[in-house]
Amino acid sequence: MYAFQRTPCPDYLNECWEVLGMRYVEAKNRNPGYKFRWYAAFRYDETRRLLNEMTQGHCAFCDGGDLGSVSRETIEHFRPKSHPEFRRFAFQWQNLYPCCDQCQTQKLENF
């Protein structure tokens, strides 16, 4: 397995992860059927790219390489955003990991 060092949180995310997380918490509290989505201010594509660079293009869970050509490049929440106690961490840098399709399917909402 490739060891990786988590890079410092990008400034744009450091400035807004708590606000975005609370926005998600409030939306879910108002409507339990509310589906999570990446807000525009979050810069999903840039965040995904930074996470993939951090792991040299490998899935953080199975260490499978070549994310983007063998599997979709996805962002997985280590602490599942579906659990009420973790919803506020939905946009926290330390909770985000690059993940392959297979691991994302197997992990589901487990912690």
pLDDT tens, residue by residue, 54-88: 988 888 888 877 766 666 778 899 999 989 999 99
Average the pLDDT over 25-54 and give the result. Answer: 90
pLDDT for position 47: 92
Q: pLDDT band at residue 28, thresholds of 50, 70 and 90?
A: very high
Please state the domain extents for the chain.
11-31+39-107
Task: Give the architecture-level CATH label for domain 11-31+39-107.
Answer: 3-Layer(aba) Sandwich (3.40)
User: Which pLDDT score, from 0 to 100, does residue 69 have?
Assistant: 63
**Which long-range CB contacts under 8 A does 74-78 form with residues at least 24 apart?**
74/48, 74/98, 74/99, 74/100, 74/101, 74/104, 75/44, 75/47, 75/48, 75/51, 75/99, 76/103, 76/104, 76/107, 78/111
pLDDT of residue 1 exceeding 70, the answer is no
Averaged pLDDT, 42-61: 88
Q: What is the mean pLDDT of the chain?
A: 86
Evaluate if residue 110 carries a pLDDT over 80: no
pTM of the entire structure? 0.86
Q: How confident is the model at residue 4 (pLDDT cuts 50, 70, 90)?
A: confident
